[in-house]
């Protein structure tokens, strides 16, 4: 799996856990909906750390918790 796919899947996972729609996440995080849609549709190869920070802040999790998923195991990521 590509890194951008892991990012997208993790965001969807967190939305589901928190009962957020992607639109609600965009609204509460202050991330433009088009930016979030591009992340979710795997159009962004290298998302900014600030965007990931805003997502984490909205979900009230630490950055390390965002990446604490088997999705981000090095053996699962293709470069």
**What is residue 43's predicted lDDT score, i.e. its pLDDT?**
96
Residues in the chain: 79
Provide CATH code, domain 3-72: 1.10.260.40
What residue ranges do the domains of the chain occupy? 3-72
What string of H, E and C letters represents the secondary structure of 9-35?
HHHHHHHHHHCCCHHHHHHHHCCCHHH
* pTM, rounded to two decimals: 0.94
**What is residue 79's predicted lDDT score, i.e. its pLDDT?**
76
DSSP string, 30-59: T--HHHHHHHHTT--SS--HHHHHHHHHHH
How far CA 52 is from CA of 10, 61, in Å, comes to 11, 11
- Mean pLDDT per block of 10 residues along the chain (79 residues) reads 96 98 98 97 94 98 97 92
Three-state DSSP class for residue 1: coil
């Amino acid at each position: 799996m590509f890194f951008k796919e892991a990012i997208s899947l993790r965001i969807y996972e967190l939305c589901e856990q928190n009962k957020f729609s992607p639109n609600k996440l965009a609204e509460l995080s202050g991330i433009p909906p088009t930016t979030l849609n591009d992340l979710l549709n795997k159009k962004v190869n290298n998302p900014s750390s600030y965007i990931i920070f805003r997502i984490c802040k909205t979900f009230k999790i630490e950055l390390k918790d965002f990446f604490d998923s088997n999705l981000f195991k090095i053996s699962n990521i293709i470069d």
